[in-house]
Amino acid sequence: MILNLDVLTDVQKPITLRSWAVALIVLTLFSLAISIEACLRISNELGGFPIPSHFYFTTISPRFLTAFFPTLLVAGLLIIWQSTDRSYRELQPYVVLSRGNATAAEGLLTNYVSSLEHVWGDYQRDEISTLFNPAILRDDTIPRTVKGISIQSTKAIGLAPDVAELNAFLAAAGFAEAAVFHNLSDPPFIFGSWSLAEFLFPPDSVLNGTLSVNTTAIKSTANCEAPQTFALTTPGTSNFTIDASNSAGCSGSVTFDPEATSTSTQYGATAIANCGSDDVQYQPVMFWFFHRQDDGTPQGASVFCNPTIETFNVIAEVDLNNGLPIGVTAVDEATTPNNVTGDPLNGQAFNSLKFRPSNDTFVQARAISIGASVSGAIFRFASQSPNGLQLVFDDPTGFLAITTQVFTQHLSLSAKSIYFVNASSNVVASMTCLATRLLIERVFSYLTAGAIPAHILAGALTLIGFSALLLHLVHLRQRRRFFLAASPGSIAHTLSLAAHAQFAHRLYPYDDDDEILRKLAGMRFGLDPRTGAIVADSDGNGEKVVTPMELETGMYGADSSPGTTVVGKDVEEGGAYKFAFGVENESRLPSEQGSTKQLLLPYREDVSWSTYLNGSQRASGQFGVNLETRLPGQERTTQLLPYPGDGANPLERHPPTTEFLPYLGDLSSPGRPHVDLTLFLLSAFCPIPEISSIREDLLLPLAG
């Protein structure tokens, strides 16, 4: 049975040539193009796609997976395209032959499957494309902000109830002194002059991010300045006196014994009683410092400071790695009622150095230690100056910057403990972390517009999809020009196509390509549209070439009689004419003028032609009746009468128009004209194997 390749079963047809497979490939390409555009948009909006912080494949790098899966996807598409390309190239010789008039080099000798040029081109495309596939995706650590996080604040502005015990001031002074000795940074919730209300960090916070919190803060300002006037009095007695005043007219005086210490250095702090509040703990302070030069000359210095506080609503940015603030931005003043900006402090700031007298000896000791620790930290800082302590004393403002830095830290640490009380509330925060994200990689690093490569890639996939669809439709139309009974590729299938070719006897197994080309030079080849066999359209001299199969079946050429036919003739028997049927084969070589007929089955008188036609009709053939007549002394006349298919007499359904019609009613009349009725096939090619193979065991029961 001869079939078109597109009606073969799915087992026989290559999977990549099936319409559903092509549709799936095209839809996959379109889906990838759409996905790239969608992923690009999401990647731009969200800063990439999240990757789990705890990677489950401990032995596999995420970078390997981001490179492996795109390569695997492209490799799968590449395998499909290679298979499709191979199927197309396997069928290309048949496409060329189906057009006819093909030379041996074009249709028989060209190897479309393993041509070196094709293999090298495929290799180059595959290797280059696979090389760039891993660059489609990449994992990178980029800042990512999560907004709207609710966290718990544990403090609110308020005066601590234990402020009179001075523990908070002593701890702050001790940290300030330790910070100078050990070069320590500010502790948590302290950023320069800012003291932040404490809060709890999110439980799932990361170590490589920052947290921005809307909270409240106290800003402590030291307001330090160099003295306007300064005098070190060295009377004949053992005590020295430092007298100094600032720009506001506030003056301070301190008397000390320079020989009281073994280091010949002294320092301290005193409250300025004649400037501002009458309460010593809110008064400005004066830091004083004394030392002897190398030649023994006494030298002193002083700095005035007037601390103040302000309350603000702020946005504090905290490093989640160590919990330390890295930035504070004031939003507006805090207006929530409290006893710091309200009664009893009314916004006054503790100077954090001098305090009210106390009968508690521990409190008295703490008060002395606080003043000594802070002023000692300032003097220690100056002595650690790269230029030396002497240059600090020689500079009129040498102690100003040092005092401001150390005293501000002491004030901020004190404020964190004395100006906040326990209070729970929820505040809004946003977390920015260095998250590992999956990004759509730029194809070329020199392209600054990151979206352009993604658009190009999506467009390329779309173009490839349309090209694949168009290629399939074009090739599908080309495949309809020829017929294959089995999928190509096997030796048996190749032999079946050329076994009956007349030119096959010219070739030998030991012929190489050049020898085959020489032997077939000048010949033109094609495919028989009815059998699918390879035929030679011309032998090089313009003569039509007929294959042995065509000689056997008589199916070659429109000018040949149908090869195997059931014929009916009137035969004379005992002076009477009877009508009988038989099977006859007719063929003609191109070099012969007439045709050769061979009676394959004898005529049978016991079968009527209408019965045989009805039986043949049941065999699913498309038949008709050929009425052949010849009057005495005239040429033969042929008329086609289509067979009705319902058992009726075709002569009655389609009466002849010739003048011998009256003789058809009486076939036994002597001297009647010659009348032949021939049953023949109207189909373009023979679909009934019983007739084409001339099997008597099938024809006789059919005729009976």
Q: What is the pLDDT of residue 80?
A: 79
Burial (CB count <10 Å: 0-12, 13-18, 19+), residue 658 = middle
- Mean pLDDT by groups of 10 residues along the chain of 704 residues: 45 70 86 82 72 58 65 74 79 81 79 55 46 54 82 94 94 95 93 95 77 95 95 82 92 88 84 88 95 89 96 94 92 92 92 94 95 94 92 93 96 96 94 74 44 72 85 79 69 75 76 82 78 68 44 36 49 54 52 52 47 39 48 54 50 46 40 43 31 33 31
Tokens of 79: 């395998």
**What letter represents residue 238's amino acid?**
S
Question: What is the DSSP secondary structure assignment for residue 544, as one 8-state letter?
Answer: P
Q: Tell me which long-range contacts 24-28 makes (C-beta under 8 A, separation of at least 24).
A: 25/77, 25/80, 25/84, 25/465, 25/468, 26/465, 26/466, 26/468, 26/469, 28/77
Q: Are 307 and 221 in contact (CB under 8 A)?
A: yes
Residue 283: what residue type? Q
